[in-house]
């Protein structure tokens, strides 16, 4: 797969990516995942429960962010452990008429630890939207064959 564990050093970046999303993406994720909580598609409902507006599923953000790791390692099955805390919601504006993104998520990954005995590396993801960290302790452990 082109990545040798001996070449990895803690702090080394694995890359960066940008995920643009719209309200339609949230509807798609709701359908694909089965999570139809209206806070992810109905503004009145979201505001009624005290949110500033429609927010992305935390699991959408978690799922989209790990793509950086999958592409870097070359096989989604290499991700053997993936965790995060959801700290801030990703507010998604209704841009249906404009066709522009309703939110933009920035993802950066860096090597957080290397375990030569188990042939694994931990990638620490920094995930932000509107200048705020939306995931905290977002860590993916990959097995390197």
Partner 1 sequence: MSINPDLQGRSYPAGPAYTVGREKIREFARAVKATHPSHYDVEAAQNLGHRDLVAPPTFAIIVAQLADAQLISDPDAGIDFSRVVHADQRFIHHRAIVAGDELVAELHVDTVRAMGGGAMITTRSEISTTAGEKTATSTSSLLVRGEEQ
CB 111 within 8 A of CB 11: yes
Nearest to 136 by CA among 145, 127, 144: 127
- Kindly tell me which residue out of 59, 113, 116, 130 binds partner 1, with binding defined by CB under 8 A: 59
Q: Which residue has the tokens 């989604």?
A: 76
Specify the DSSP element, H or E, that contains 68: helix 67-73
Is residue 25 a contact point for partner 1 (CB under 8 A)?
A: yes
Is residue 104 a contact point for partner 1 (CB under 8 A)?
A: no
Minimum CB–partner distance for residue 58 and partner 1 (Å): 5
Cβ proximity to partner 1: between 4 and 49 the closer is 49
- Kindly tell me which residue out of 3, 53, 70, 110 binds partner 1, with binding defined by CB under 8 A: 70
CB 126 within 8 A of CB 87: no
Nearest to 53 by CA among 7, 95, 13: 95
| Contact window for partner 1 (CB under 8 A) among 2-10, 34-42, 90-98, 116-124 | 34-42
DSSP 17-36: EEEEE-HHHHHHHHHHH---
Minimum CB–partner distance for residue 136 and partner 1 (Å): 9
Minimum CB–partner distance for residue 117 and partner 1 (Å): 18
* Interface residue list for partner 1 (CB under 8 A): 19, 21, 25, 28-29, 31-35, 37, 49, 58-60, 62-64, 66-67, 69-71, 74-77, 79-86, 140
């Amino acid at each position: 797969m082109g990545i040798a564990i001996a070449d990895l050093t803690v702090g080394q970046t694995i890359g960066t990516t940008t995920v643009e999303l719209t309200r339609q993406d949230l509807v798609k994720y709701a359908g694909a995942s089965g999570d139809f909580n209206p806070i992810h598609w109905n503004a009145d409902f979201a505001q009624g429960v005290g949110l500033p507006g429609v927010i992305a599923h935390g699991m959408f953000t978690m799922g989209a962010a790990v793509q950086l790791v999958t592409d870097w390692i070359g096989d989604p099955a290499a991700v053997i452990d993936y965790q995060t805390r959801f700290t801030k919601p990703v507010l998604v504006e209704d841009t249906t008429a404009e066709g522009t993104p309703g939110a933009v998520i920035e993802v950066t990954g860096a090597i957080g630890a290397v375990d030569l005995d188990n042939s694994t590396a931990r990638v620490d993801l920094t995930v932000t939207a509107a200048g705020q960290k939306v995931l905290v302790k977002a860590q993916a452990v990959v097995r390197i064959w």
